[in-house]
Amino acid sequence: MIPSTTSRKQPIPYDRIAYRRRNRIERMFSRLEDFRRVATRYDKLARNFLAGAILAATVAWWLI
């Protein structure tokens, strides 16, 4: 799924749209990990963790 380098003689085919979508998701998760509470999962209850993750995702999306 990762594109080959330009110096490769015979490039490996890949899906550009799938690569872009995957990259976007990976960047979102790296932004979420910037929030320490979400990365270390301090909350013991799943609903509190989910609320913190949603809040962090909203802030990260808003600050793009």
What's the pLDDT score for residue 56? Answer: 79
57 occurs within a structural domain: yes
Predicted TM-score of the model (pTM): 0.49
39 occurs within a structural domain: yes
1 occurs within a structural domain: no
7 occurs within a structural domain: no
44 occurs within a structural domain: yes
**Both structure tokens of 59:** 């802030």
Q: Who has greater pLDDT, 35 or 16?
A: 16
List Cα–Cα distances, 5 to 10, 15, 18, 62, in angstroms: 10, 15, 18, 34
Domain that holds residue 26: 16-62
Is 80 exceeded by the pLDDT of residue 10? yes
Tens of pLDDT, residue by residue over 36-52, are: 766 676 767 788 778 87
Domain count, the chain: 1
CA pair distance 4, 10, nearest whole angstrom: 9
48 occurs within a structural domain: yes
29 occurs within a structural domain: yes
CA pair distance 37, 10, nearest whole angstrom: 45
Amino acid letter, 26:
E
